[in-house]
Each structure stands twice: as C-alpha cells, then as structure tokens.
Amino acid sequence: MQLSITTWNINSVRLRIDLVAKFIKATRPDVLCLQETKCPNDAFPLKRLKRLGYEHVAMNGQKGYHGVAIVSRLPFEEHHIRNFCGKEDTRHIGVTFGEKAGLSDPLKLHNFYVPAGGDIPDPEINPKFDHKLSFLDEMTNSESLHPGEKERSVLVGDLNVAPHEHDVWSHKQLLNVVSHTPIECEKLLGMKAAGRWIDVARARIPEPEKIYTWWSYRAADWTLADRGRRLDHIWVSQALGDRISDFQISRTARGWDRPSDHVPVTAVIET
C-alpha cells in the first residue's frame, strides 16, 4: 500500500480553497497537511473538502494567524495537539493512522508551523526570533519527536529554516537573514539528529543541487529572479527510510492566480 503525504503552507485556507481544490483534483494525495490556515476551527472549509473526498480532518486553528490542519482521504485512529513555549498559538497537529486506514502497523504524522522569527536575527532585541529559537529547542528535547528504531513516524511542515548551503539562492548573502542564519540551521539540524530523522528531500536530491519551496512575494518576477528557499520539509523516521518511492515539489503552483508564496511538497511512502 502506498501513502502519499503533501505539506503546503497555504497562507489562508479560506482565501485559497480554490487552489487547494485545484491541487487535490490534479494530484489526489492521501493526506494533505496545511500550515497558516489562518482561521478558527468552526470556519474551516470542511464541506468543500468533503465534497472532494477528504472526509477526515484534524485541525488546530485560530482567527487570522498561524493554524495547522491535516486533511485526509483515510481515517485516522486519533489526533493530538501539542503546545510549545507555553503558547497556545496553533502550530502543531498530529494524527495516528492504523487499522482504519488499512495499515497493519501504526504510522504517526506530525504537522508543524515553526515561528518565522521576524526580521532581526538577534534574540536579545527581537522576541520573535527568540521565540523561534526556543521553539526549535523544545522540539529537539521533545521525546515524542524521538521515534524508536521500529517506530513509523513522519514529520512535515513549514519549519521556516533552510538548513543547508544549497537550500537558498545565495548562501553568503543570506547568512544574516532570518531562516538561514547559522544558529537556526544548527538548531534545526540538531533537532533532526536528535530524532534520527531522515530529510526526504536531501535523501532524494543530494547537494549541491538547489531545492526551493518558497519564493518571496516581493520579487516582481519570481521565475526570473528564482531567489527561493527550502522552508518546507518532509522527514521520516529510520523505519521508513527505505520506503520512500517518490518525492515531488509542485513548483508550478507558485505561478497560479493569487498563490501562496509556498508550494506543495509531496512524498510517497510504501507502507
């Protein structure tokens, strides 16, 4: 059995529900993990998604900011929410797939929206950057994000860090830009190492090939400038490391009408 999982920072699910529908109709992932849904749970477009065949939804939202959701064609056994840094700011949702989805062994899925961190890469004067670093530290120290040797786990989301030299358009020019500063990269890679996670993108597309999943709205022509960053990630536990059969970045979605600045990223897992 194959399980396809897509992660996408949609930057307002209600504003871009037509783009979600367009992507779903073309790609039909089994599971779609959204970040920056920017709406409370009671305003989430459930009816539209159910008409598209996605009847199982776990969400953690609030009005206007942040928000995450897992939208699935397959039923899940349970869902859970984790708060970080003492804040209830809707940045995590997790589900477990099992027998109801036709899996003989359970598979845990975590969907994260890590704080962006503001513009100034100094935690002493920028509380948003301090929050981001503390959030990454808490993820690193979280036992629930340290899968056991045989545990089947997937961690996805907008992690808001481009950790490698070739995850950005210019390593040298972005060293002092939030999302690629050395301290952020060190903390994200430390968190990955602590959980022995496998970065699917870099396992499939090794450096020095460039990989981007985000392009700024500020560029007059994003395709011509192509100044991207890889902020959106899919990681799998060691038990799933040899079970990735496909990986795709839907770059064309950045050119759709009124797009998100992020694009969908999809991995196919042989379960």
pLDDT tens, position by position, 178-187: 999 999 999 9
Task: Give dist(CA 194, CA 147) in Å, integer.
Answer: 10
pTM: 0.98
Cβ-based neighbours of 63, under 8 Å, separated by 6 or more = 38, 39, 40
Average pLDDT over the chain, rounded to whole?
A: 98
248 contacts 232 by C-beta, under 8 angstroms: no
**Residue 242 β-bridge partners:** none
SS3 call for 255: helix
DSSP conformation letters of 25-45: HHH--SEEEEE---S-GGGS-
Count the neighbouring beta carbons within 10 Å of the beta carbon of residue 246. Answer: 13
pLDDT tens digits, residue range 123-172?
999 999 999 999 999 999 999 999 999 999 999 999 999 999 999 999 99
Task: Give dist(CA 62, CA 68) in Å, integer.
Answer: 9
pLDDT tens digits, residue range 43-86?
999 999 999 999 999 999 999 999 999 999 999 999 999 999 99
Task: Give dist(CA 136, CA 122) in Å, integer.
Answer: 15
pLDDT tens digits, residue range 252-263?
999 999 999 999
Which tokens is 219 given? 């560029």
Q: Is the Cα torsion angle 199, 26, 245, 82 positive or negative in sign? A: positive
DSSP H helical ranges for 52-195: 127-141, 182-194
248 contacts 23 by C-beta, under 8 angstroms: no
pLDDT tens digits, residue range 90-102?
999 999 999 999 9
Angle between helices 127-141 and 182-194 (to 10 degrees): 20
pLDDT tens digits, residue range 112-123?
999 999 999 999
Closest Cα to residue 249, out of 10, 6, 1, 2? 6
Which tokens is 149 given? 């040797």
pLDDT at 156: 99
Cα atoms in the Cβ-side hemisphere of radius 13 Å centred on 109 = 33
* 220 pLDDT more than 90: no
